[in-house]
């Protein structure tokens, strides 16, 4: 008997903690009224568009006297006022020739509010500009990713073709 009372008490606590649906069938009569819940869960959303596959194809170089940099303008759309962008790389921000050589590089993230944030040093968290919220539809941009190769890293590297892959992760915050 005591065990049944405890089970009954626990089940009533479990029911009171759960959201109960307000679904009610109507009565059979000349008019009938029924009720039901309508529910949707709105989540934050984010999208990056405008990445150019060939933006960081540096071509053929034999010697660098100064930093070599290339940029790609992108669009960040977010349903929140702030987003975070994190960059990762297959080879930890170093292009590899698959054998013995590697060439480190830097990745910068630039927006109107945050010029030249060094993404290879850590994530950037900043505002989404409301005026550019639709740039993913209009083809505009509100951020720039830049890859920079320094002469001190490039010049002593062995001859070869060097590659890496950057992954940008955008999270609404």
**3-state DSSP assignment of residue 121:** helix
Q: 46-172 adopts what CATH topology?
A: Immunoglobulin-like (2.60.40)
- pLDDT tens by residue, 44-60: 888 888 898 888 999 88
**3-state DSSP assignment of residue 28:** coil
Stated pTM of the model: 0.76
Longest dimension (CA), the chain: 90
- pLDDT tens by residue, 85-143: 999 999 999 999 998 899 999 999 988 777 788 898 888 887 765 545 567 667 778 88
Gap between the terminal Cα atoms of the chain: 52
Closest by CA position to 163, among listed 56, 55, 69: 56
Residue 166: band (very low, low, confident or very high) from pLDDT cuts 50, 70, 90: very high
Look up tokens 């993913």; give the residue: 136
**How far is Cα 11 from Cα 14, in angstroms, rounded to an integer?**
5
Composition of the chain by helix, strand, coil, percent to 5: 15, 35, 50
């Amino acid at each position: 008997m005591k065990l049944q009372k405890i089970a009954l008490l626990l089940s009533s606590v479990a029911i009171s903690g759960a959201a109960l649906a307000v679904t009610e069938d109507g009565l059979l009569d000349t008019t009938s009224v029924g009720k039901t819940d309508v529910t949707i869960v709105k989540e934050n959303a984010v999208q990056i568009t405008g990445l150019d596959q060939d933006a960081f194809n540096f071509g053929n170089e034999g010697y660098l006297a100064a930093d070599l940099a290339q940029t790609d303008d992108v669009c960040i759309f977010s349903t929140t006022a702030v987003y975070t962008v994190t960059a990762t790389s297959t080879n930890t921000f170093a292009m590899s020739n698959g054998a013995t050589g590697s060439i480190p590089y830097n990745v910068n993230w630039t927006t109107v509010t945050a010029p030249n944030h060094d993404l290879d040093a850590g994530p950037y968290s900043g505002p989404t500009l409301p005026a550019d919220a639709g740039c993913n539809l209009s083809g505009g941009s509100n951020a720039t990713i830049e890859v920079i190769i320094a002469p001190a890293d490039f010049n002593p590297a062995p001859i070869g073709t060097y590659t890496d892959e950057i992954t940008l992760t955008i999270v609404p915050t």
